Amino acid sequence: MDINNVYNKLVENIQGIKILKNEPMKKHTSFRIGGPVDLMILPKTKEEVQGAINICKKYQVNYYIIGNGSNLLVRDGGVRGVVIKLADNFNEVNIEKNRVTAQAGVLLSSLSNRLVKESFKGFEFASGIPGTLGGAVVMNAGAYGGEMKDVLAGAYVVDEKGNFIYLNKEELALDYRTSVIQKKGYVVVEAEMVFEKGDMTEIKEKIKDFTKKRTTKQPLQLPSAGSTFKRPTGYFAGKLIEDAGLKGVRVGGAQVSPLHSGFVVNVENATAEDVIHLIELVQKVVKDQFGVTLETEVKIIGQD
């Protein structure tokens, strides 16, 4: 179906929905890379998310769900179809006693700040992760010994049939950087978490310590998508890359960070092609030298 007709169907069926046409994806990814998407939808409610997904399914239009684009590389040719962005347009948080319910688009840093005010402990690990809650649930994000599965009670998702369903913690099947949501292609719209009260001073000190570790050991001042590769069993991706002599190696405007070899950074107007070629170079050299296959943690979408 013609994309203009899809646009008309969305406007007709979902009152007041915000849609951007030919929107440059580089404005919506932390890599600052990517060509335009045909249509970008910015829903405010879970009903708008569901409605947009069902229209895309009905008219067989490709659609992608993104948060704030912190783990995403969009190819230079952009995205044909629809991108549904769940970020600052979709970030309500409700707190009742020790139970927190939040929309998928809330930034982990913002949620962390809110939880600190309530003296809730257990979310310190997520304070510096540059992503949204929905993305963190999908991949069971973690750092410094903590993971989303430590605090999650359940999540509301849109399933493959376009229906809302609730999955409890066990049904989410959270494992290292994966979940049933990722495996089945569900879309997180809301998450429920349960916390215990802690000492506010201790919580703040823990966050301060994690922030110091991040800022001194990671290239946060340059555009990137965070850790480029998953941790291979028994190894650390960054150490393998450094031991292979690849620290600081460049392809075009993309570089293996001299500060942390696990990061590919955009140092000089890198294209997606630059980044992909550098990723492939790193994978080949590490495989040849150590026999280890590095899998990408960054998600790559779009066309050349």
Which residues are known catalytic residues? 177, 227, 297
Token digits for 155?
């999540």
* DSSP-derived 3-state class of residue 127: coil
Token digits for 166?
């609730």
Are 11 and 3 a contacting pair, CB within 8 Å? no
Q: Could you please report the per-residue DSSP string of 217-265?
A: HS-TTS-EEEE-BPPPTTS-HHHHHHHTT-TT-EETTEEE-SS-TTEEE
Q: How far apart are CA 142 and CA 66, in angstroms?
A: 19
Are 72 and 29 a contacting pair, CB within 8 Å? yes
- CA atoms in the 13 A half-sphere facing the CB of 283: 14
* DSSP-derived 3-state class of residue 96: strand
